[in-house]
């Protein structure tokens, strides 16, 4: 009998050759790189055969769940028919169909779709388009962007410039000039002048304040210099900050008052993450552009898009004007075909409605964790939640750098994974756990997440 050939140790080869993103590589010098080899539904398996609940849908991506054969088949069929052709002055059917479909889903007059290969490129596209739009319409001094503290908008240097995480930017300074930060909507840490003596905050007053701070930023820079405001419907970095009531409506008015474009960065929030095709629909506002990517194909192939209003597109569609921008793989035929098949799944299985029907059950299940001393806040929307960890629930005191390093990264991240939950423990802002499982998740998923978090957070608390 011949023995099975020994499996190559992928984990060792990963350390030797695969430069992992945002990864402290030295942490794998003497410990194996976790290597995921298979996915099915809401679960993934590693190369040792261990099963994990995918509590982050990969990276806010795998909306329809893992192992969907029809998405793999859509990719194979398209690759056989037309593997590649660019959308530079030529069209191909799948990009056309997908652009039309996105335009139909998108709110108001967002009818023009410019494809890229991911979210950061979609953000770059939006900023560049805003700049060129104002040059074409006689306002060449409008080029700056206001974005929000702690927000992540991607790694290309433009997107990084509007990112509100100084630690991520420092190694690459100087970045693109013309950016300014306004506060985000972290109501858990509202300023003291908006907090009543009993600790409560009026969400509407808070929302007015947070929106007015964006206006202050526009006025500080000078409205004649500001092109756009970039905001996520629910801000991810910092741990899921939903908008207070009325926030986006006020922001829309502010942008209109100063002729500033409102860009909804929906790289995470689009495609059902909040139970609607676009996050703007969930909160009832009309952006001038939407940037999206991740969930469009449920991750079966990469693609991104910037969806642009007719009003903004108009000058580009005249005379010899050209939007001087493009990506070789933007609107890739295979990715476009996969996106269409993915959107068919959304329609057929009612994924958005499923999220709307179950979001309060998910939040209710996570809220049970509030009895733990380490859980300061549970917040989010749809299938998108953050759990803020604190040292003192009453004072909301957070962890110091040593505790973050030792407990959050040194213990909790690994404990969650070892206990069978892939999610993210993060301290961009204050320490949080981030959860965004596939949209097919149901009560059994929520219960499993709650149980693993309860065990892991109880153990983490004992280590402080
Ligand atoms: N914008 C937001 C809101 C994001 O969350 C991300 C990525 O997580 C990006 C942009 C960048 O997307 P990508 O990593 O596809 O370039």
Distance 228 CA to ligand 1 centre (A): 18
Of residues 129, 175, 446, the one with CA closest to residue 289: 129
Nearest residue by C-alpha to atom 1 in ligand 1: 153
Q: Is the CB of 236 under 6 A from ligand 1?
A: yes
- Each residue of 357-377: b (16+ CB within 10 Å) or e? ebbeebbebbebbeebebbbb
CA–chain centroid gap for 238, Å, is: 12
Q: For a pocket test of ligand 1, which of 156, 294, 296, 304 has the largest count of ligand atoms closer than 8 A to its C-beta?
A: 294
**What is the tens place of the pLDDT at every residue in 319-333?**
999 999 999 999 999
> Using CA atoms, how far apart are residues 259 and 229, in angstroms rounded to an integer?
11
Confidence of residue 2 (pLDDT cuts 50, 70, 90): very low
> Using CA atoms, how far apart are residues 33 and 53, in angstroms rounded to an integer?
18
> Using CA atoms, how far apart are residues 419 and 131, in angstroms rounded to an integer?
48
Give the count of beta carbons closer than 10 Å to the beta carbon of residue 139.
14
Q: For a pocket test of ligand 1, which of 61, 120, 147 has the largest count of ligand atoms closer than 8 A to its C-beta?
A: 120
Judge contact between 291 and 125, C-beta under 8 A: yes
**What is the tens place of the pLDDT at every residue in 252-263?**
999 999 999 999
Distance 122 CA to ligand 1 centre (A): 9
Distance 88 CA to ligand 1 centre (A): 24
**Closest ligand 1 atom, residue 293 Cα:** 15
pLDDT higher than 50, residue 28: yes
Distance 276 CA to ligand 1 centre (A): 19
Span 339-364, average pLDDT: 98
Mention every residue, 6+ apart, whose C-beta is less than 8 A from residue 285: 248, 249, 251, 252, 262, 264
* Domains of the chain and CATH, by start: 10-67+350-462 (3.90.1150.10), 70-349 (3.40.640.10)
Of residues 126, 157, 156, the one with CA closest to residue 143: 126
Q: What percent of the chain has a predicted confidence (pLDDT) above 90?
A: 95
Neighbouring-strand partners of residue 145:
179, 228
DSSP 352-366: HHHHHHHHHHHHHHH
Distance 159 CA to ligand 1 centre (A): 9
Q: Is the CB of 267 under 6 A from ligand 1?
A: yes
Of residues 107, 381, 432, the one with CA closest to residue 244: 381
Q: Is the CB of 265 under 6 A from ligand 1?
A: yes
Span 248-274, average pLDDT: 98
**Closest ligand 1 atom, residue 156 Cα:** 16
**What is the tens place of the pLDDT at every residue in 63-76?**
999 999 999 999 99
Distance 220 CA to ligand 1 centre (A): 28
- Exposed / middle / buried, residue 138 (Cβ in 10 Å: 0-12, 13-18, 19+): exposed
Distance 418 CA to ligand 1 centre (A): 27
pLDDT higher than 60, residue 226: yes
Q: What angle do CA 430, 436, 442 make, to 5 degrees?
A: 135
Q: Is the CB of 305 under 6 A from ligand 1?
A: no
**Torsion-angle region of residue 86: left (phi > 0), alpha (psi -120 to 50) or beta?**
beta
Mention every residue, 6+ apart, whose C-beta is less than 8 A from residue 354: 439, 440
Span 292-309, average pLDDT: 98
Q: Is the CB of 123 under 6 A from ligand 1?
A: yes
Rounded to the nearest integer, the mean pLDDT of the chain is: 96
pLDDT higher than 50, residue 3: no
Q: Is the CB of 268 under 6 A from ligand 1?
A: yes
pLDDT at 7: 64
pLDDT at 428: 85
**What is the tens place of the pLDDT at every residue in 400-428?**
999 999 999 999 999 999 999 999 998 88
Of 6-15, 219-228, 272-281, 289-298, give the lowest mean pLDDT range. Answer: 6-15
> Using CA atoms, how far apart are residues 217 and 196, in angstroms rounded to an integer?
26
């Amino acid at each position: 009998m011949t023995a099975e050939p020994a499996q190559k140790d992928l984990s060792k080869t990963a350390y030797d050759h695969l430069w992992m993103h945002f990864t402290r590589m030295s942490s794998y010098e003497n410990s194996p790189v976790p290597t995921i080899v298979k996915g099915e539904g809401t679960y993934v398996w590693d190369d040792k055969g261990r099963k994990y609940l995918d509590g982050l849908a990969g990276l806010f991506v795998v909306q329809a769940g893992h192992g969907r054969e029809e998405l793999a088949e859509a990719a194979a069929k398209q690759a056989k028919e037309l593997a590649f052709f660019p959308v530079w002055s030529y069209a191909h059917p799948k990009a056309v169909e997908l652009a039309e479909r996105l335009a139909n889903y998108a709110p108001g007059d967002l009818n023009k779709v410019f494809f890229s290969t991911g979210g950061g490129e979609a953000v770059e596209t939006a900023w560049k388009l805003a700049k060129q739009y104002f040059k074409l319409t006689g306002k060449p001094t409008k080029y700056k962007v206001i974005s929000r503290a702690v927000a992540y908008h991607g790694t290309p240097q433009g997107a990084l410039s509007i990112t509100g995480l100084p630690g991520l930017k420092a190694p690459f300074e100087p970045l693109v000039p013309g950016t300014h930060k306004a506060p985000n909507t972290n109501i858990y840490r509202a300023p003291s002048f908006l907090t009543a003596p009993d600790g409560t905050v009026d969400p509407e007053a808070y929302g007015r304040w947070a929106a007015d701070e964006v206006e202050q930023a526009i006025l500080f820079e000078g409205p004649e210099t500001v092109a756009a405001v970039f905001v996520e419907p629910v801000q991810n970095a910092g741990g899921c900050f939903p908008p207070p009531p009325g926030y986006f409506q006020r922001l829309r008015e502010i942008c209109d008052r100063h002729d500033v474009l409102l860009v909804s960065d929906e790289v995470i929030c689009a495609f059902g993450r909040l139970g609607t095709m676009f996050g703007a629909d969930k909160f009832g506002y009309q952006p001038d552009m939407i940037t999206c990517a991740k969930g469009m194909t449920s991750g079966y192939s990469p693609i991104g898009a910037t969806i642009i209003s007719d009003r903004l597109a108009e000058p580009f569609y005249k005379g010899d004007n050209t939007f001087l921008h493009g990506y070789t793989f933007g609107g890739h035929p295979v990715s476009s075909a996969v996106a269409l098949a993915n959107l068919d799944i959304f329609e057929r299985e009612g994924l958005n409605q499923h999220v709307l029907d179950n979001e309060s059950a998910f939040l209710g299940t996570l809220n049970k964790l509030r009895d733990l001393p380490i859980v300061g806040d549970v917040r989010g929307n749809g299938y998108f939640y953050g759990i803020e960890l604190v040292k003192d629930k009453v004072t909301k005191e957070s962890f110091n750098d040593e505790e973050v390093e030792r407990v959050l990264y040194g213990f909790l991240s690994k404990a969650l994974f070892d206990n069978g939950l892939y999610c993210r423990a993060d301290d961009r802002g204050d320490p949080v756990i981030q959860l965004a499982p596939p949209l097919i998740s149901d009560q059994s998923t929520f219960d499993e997440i709650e149980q693993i978090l309860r065990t892991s957070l109880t153990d983490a608390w004992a280590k402080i």
